Structure 1
Amino acid sequence: MKVIGVEEFGGPEALAVHEVPEPHAGAGSVRIRVAAFAVNPTDTGVRAGQRDSSGAQPPYVPGMDAAGVIDEVGPDVSGWAVGDEVMAMALPLSEHGGAYVEELVAPVGSFTRVPRGTSLEQAATVPMNGLTALQILGHPSLTPGKTLAVTGAAGLLGNYLVQLGKAAGLTVIADAAPADEALVRSLGPDHVVARGDGFAAAVRAIVPDGVDALADAALQRSAVVDAVRDGGTFFDVRGWEGDGSRGIEFVRVMVFSEYRSFDKLEQLRHAVESGTLTPRVAEVLPAERAAEAHERLEAGGTRGRFVLVW
């Protein structure tokens, strides 16, 4: 089968189409004929060699989001059938590998049905970013009525945090550059403040003591931490351990632990079906243009996700 990956880690140009042996569904798993897979910032790290690859063999295949049709069902699997349309989370550099593949073996729990009325391309943007948002929103500090600030609200993770945060009963303060303000306001936050310098001060103008929690999807870290109250919570999605200031709890969000979080995938499916969560596709491209998608993603300014199709 065809996969998109790298023989040697490097820049976008290192990505190429490779032929590898076709996998098959075994015990506790299905095989998905992948139709669409999303391009996420995490994928660029896999491509560049920023993740532990000691347990994998080349070609190293990125990708954590896929959607397609089940075409094989393991011998002990019930409740799923050939022909079911599903969206799945994949784990690059692990046993079953990344999502940039024609055929993905997926353990039960790592996938769910595509939301009604949603295309496979749209569904491919939901699992990984949606699970990241739910992992943050499930933290004990974020009970209904608490305040949550979101940086990078115009990006896809930020979109999902704002929409799901509001649905969870939080007061949400989102950032936006002028060009993105209409998009961010359409997500329904309680307040919108300017992105960049002055963010923390703008948040404090709304909540003088600081917000209960901040989800830093824009990776602004020390530049925005002052928006959080003493003893509040700061969520970082790239492993920052924080600066230890003012009793703030610095939480490193690790979505890899959500690989088989079926109940959360179901929550995301229902959120899309109800209109609570809006999948956002920036552009659909042929799989062979993966290098272009990576280059454009790394250039910044993408709203939604590039989705690659076979």
Structure 2
Amino acid sequence: MRAMVIRRFGGPEVLEAVEVPVPEPGPGQVRIRVAAAAVNPVDVATRAGILTEAGVVPPREVLGLGWDVAGEVDAVGAGAGFRVGDAVIGLRDRIATPLGAYAERIVLDASAVAPAPAGVSPAEAATLPLNALTAAQALDLVETTGTVLVTGAAGAVGGYAVALAHARGLRVVAVAGAADEALVRGFGADEFVPRGPSLGDRARTLAPGGVDAVLDTALLGLDALDAVRGGGEFVAFAAGAAPLPLRGVRVRGVWIRADGERLAELARLAENGTLPLRVAGVLPLSEAAAAHERLAAGGLRGRLVLAP
């Protein structure tokens, strides 16, 4: 079968198409015929060697790319709990393996897989696992029932964070580019602050004394921390992106993990329209390098998706 891998770090040109044996599922695993695999910033960071330099991904001779998958089960191991033909989505969170979702087939633990949301395309479904689970698990770290500020609210993770916080009944202050105000209000934002300097001062005009919590998907660090009240909460979304816990703010980082049960809940929210599924474009698997170039150029709304 075909897969895209890297054998060295660098630009999009290091992505390599290879032929590899079809993997076989073991006990408690399923093999998925990949219909769509989302392209995420973490793929770019892995390809460039940034995650290996940061100590997140150990050195390997071959690394697969791709976390998100949507497709159809075509083989099952003992006790997997799925059947051949099931439409599913899943998350590959073991990122040091030689095969990822950029492939024609992938084997995942059944605990990382959930039924695909009904009524949406595989490309749309593939945008859900990594980004929605990250937003949900970050929100789980927040104890407030008051006001939460979400930076990068127009992005994939940020958009899900706004929608999930709104569904939880929190008052949501969204930070994004000025042109994206209508977009993020459509996700459920109650208030909007345009991206720019003096974020803390501008947010505090909407939340006197400071917001109760920040979900910093845009990695603004201290600028976003300044918007939080003393003793509030702050969630960072990347290794090394957490600011010092000034003014007694509780600073935590979210570390994504596969969770099929939670993913099934998120799929149901996608079915009923609570979570917006946004596809920026669909490219064939062979054009993974072009997808990485487009992602690095910025300005996308939604995720690019590869279709084997």
Q: TM-score range by the shorter chain?
A: over 0.9
Partner of 2:8: 8
In structure 2, distance between residues paired with 1:262 and 1:66: 13
CA-to-aligned-CA distance 1:242-289 (integer Å, 9 cap, x gap): 12311111111111xx22x12211110111111111111001111111
| CA shift in 2, pair 1:284/1:202, >3 Å | same
Alignment of 1:98-137 (within 5 A): 98-137=100-139
Following superposition, which runs of at least 4 residues in structure 1 exceed 6 angstroms of deviation? none
Q: 1:92 to 1:18 in 2, by over 3 A?
A: farther
What are the residue-to-residue correspondences of 1:122-201 with 2, within 5 Å?
Answer: 122-142=124-144, 145-201=145-201
Equivalent AA in structure 2 for residue 63 of structure 1: G
Q: Does 1:74 align with 2:77?
A: yes
For 1:91, the equivalent position in structure 2 comes to 93
Q: CA deviation at 1:216?
A: 0.9
The size of the alignment, in residue pairs, is: 303
Instruction: Give, as a single letter, the amino acid of the residue that structure 2 aligns with 1:86.
Output: V
User: TM-score under structure 2 normalisation?
Assistant: 0.94
Query: What CA deviation, in whole Å up to 9, does each residue of 1:102-131 have, x standing for no partner?
Result: 111010110111111011100000001111
Preserved contact between residue 233 and residue 249 of structure 1 (Cα < 8 Å): yes
Is 1:31–1:103's contact at 8 Å kept on the other side of the alignment?
A: yes
Provide the identity percentage.
44
CA shift at 1:63, angstroms? 1.0
Q: Hey, what does 1:250 align to over in structure 2?
A: 251
Assess if the C-alpha contact under 8 Å between 2:154 and 2:301 holds in 1: yes
Matching residue of 2:65: 62
Q: Answer whether contact 1:17 1:288 (CA < 8 A) is retained.
A: yes
CA distance in 2 between counterparts of 1:36 and 1:19 reads 18
Rounded to whole Å, the distance in 2 between the matches of 1:174 and 1:274 is 23
Structure 2 unmatched runs, 5+: none
How far apart in 2 are the matches of 1:94 and 1:12? 18
Structure 2 residue matching 1:265: 3-state secondary structure: helix
Shift of 1:206: 0.8
Measure, in 2, the Cα distance between the counterparts of 1:174 and 1:251. Answer: 20
Letter in 2 for 1:54: P
Secondary structure of the corresponding residue to residue 153 of structure 2: coil
